[in-house]
Amino acid sequence: MHAIAAVQAIVTADEYDREPTAAELDAIETEMPLIRAEVELLDVQIALLDQAPSELSTRRLRRARRRVLAARRELTNRVTATAGEAA
């Protein structure tokens, strides 16, 4: 029986095994309102998979979509304003 050995010296260490940098954490924090809005929209969509659409569920879905759009707009405006200040 032959032993299986790693060809490379370090098999498990790659760039994905490191902790996030401060800049990456700041980027996540900046995008967090959009992430939350998208998760809420996904929750609404999942909840509506089993139901017949009602007026209330339609409103709930529309509201969640509007929150995602508003969060995207806010994030885009913030990034654009920051890029304008840097230039």
Helix axes 22-47, 55-86, angle to 10 degrees: 160
The Cβ of residue 41 has, within 10 Å, a number of other Cβ atoms equal to: 19
pLDDT of residue 81: 84
Tokens of 18: 């490191």
b/e 27-38 (16+ beta carbons within 10 angstroms → b) = eeeebebbeebb
Residues of the chain with pLDDT under 50: none
Tokens of 19: 């902790």
61 neighbors 45 (Cβ within 8 angstroms): yes
pLDDT of residue 29: 95
